[in-house]
Chains A and B, each alone.
Chain A
Amino acid sequence: DQQVKQNSPSLSVQEGRISILNCDYTNSMFDYFLWYKKYPAEGPTFLISISSIKDKNEDGRFTVFLNKSAKHLSLHIVPSQPGDSAVYFCARRGDNFNKFYFGSGTKLNVKP
């Protein structure tokens, strides 16, 4: 049972424009979601998170939106920069707080 699903394996965006990465999830009682960024040959690094008591969380150029009724999560990057080119994983914490479930990732390419 896939807990989180990223349906777009890749996304290409022009530098300076907005990048929108999407993630869908299955139902759960408690929802805490995270976005990670991964460069080749490196481990994922934490980017931003959101809990179910919020519908938006912002950190600099990165904003995460949570639509609980649609069970949908999105990450907005504005403006996009070439250094943002990486694979982005969404993840959610498991109900027992001990596990995390990751999507399959979206590879973002920001063209100069």
Chain B
Amino acid sequence: EADIYQTPRYLVIGTGKKITLECSQTMGHDKMYWYQQDPGMELHLIHYSYGVNSTEKGDLSSESTVSRIRTEHFPLTLESARPSHTSQYLCASSAGTGAYNEQFFGPGTRLTVL
């Protein structure tokens, strides 16, 4: 059973607001990821982290930022939300070693920016 949590599950917010999406995992995984997904589309990687104090941008350009101060915590921040940020945001983690490790996903945050 994967233990990865995301809050809030749903968020409706006005344009220009600053928001932080929380993601925590209790599995001690080194690697963590943020994906953005719209219905019927691929999961697009927007950020990932190899470990504490390590963050990289993913393949899809995003105006969001992330931090990794603790192994278990990987929050995503949008300084000024816009309607184009409306999407589902999925957090995932995986063990750091080995070639055959799957990713475990949180339940996602459905963000709507009005």
Q: Known contacts A41-B108, A44-B90; decide if A32 and B103 are in contact (CB<8 Å).
A: no
| Complex interface: chain B residues within 8 A of A51 (CB) | 99-100
| Residues of A1-55 contacting chain B, CB below 8 A | 2, 9, 30, 32, 34, 36, 41-46, 49, 51
Residue B52 is within 8 A (CB to CB) of chain A in the complex: no
For the complex, what is the distance from the CA of A9 to the CA of B103, rounded to whole Å?
23
Looking at the complex, which one of A43, A89, A93, A101 makes contact with B106 (CB distance below 8 Å)?
A43
For chain A, which range describes its interface: under 10, 10 to 19, 20 to 34, or 35 or more residues?
20 to 34
**Neighbour of A98 across the interface among B4, B35, B50, B100, CB < 8 A:** B50
B48 at the interface (CB under 8 A from A): yes
Within residues 76 to 114 of chain B, which ones have a CB less than 8 A from any CB in chain A? 90-92, 99-100, 102-108, 110
**Which of A30, A41, A103 is within 8 Å of B42, CB to CB?**
A103
Q: Is A44 within 8 A of B105, CB to CB?
A: yes
B45 in the interface (beta carbon within 8 A) = yes
Interface residues of A in 87-109 (CB under 8 A from B): 89, 91, 93, 97-105
Q: State which of A32, A46, A89, A99 has its C-beta within 8 Å of the C-beta of B48.
A: A99
- Say whether A43 contacts B107, CB under 8 Å: yes
Given contacts A41-B110, A44-B43, A101-B42, could you give 6 more A-B pairs where the C-beta distance is less than 8 Å? A41-B9, A42-B107, A46-B103, A103-B42, A104-B40, A104-B41
8 closest A-B pairs by CB: A43-B105, A102-B43, A46-B102, A104-B42, A44-B105, A43-B107, A102-B42, A43-B108
Q: Which residues of A contact B (CB under 8 A)?
A: 2, 9, 30, 32, 34, 36, 41-46, 49, 51, 89, 91, 93, 97-105
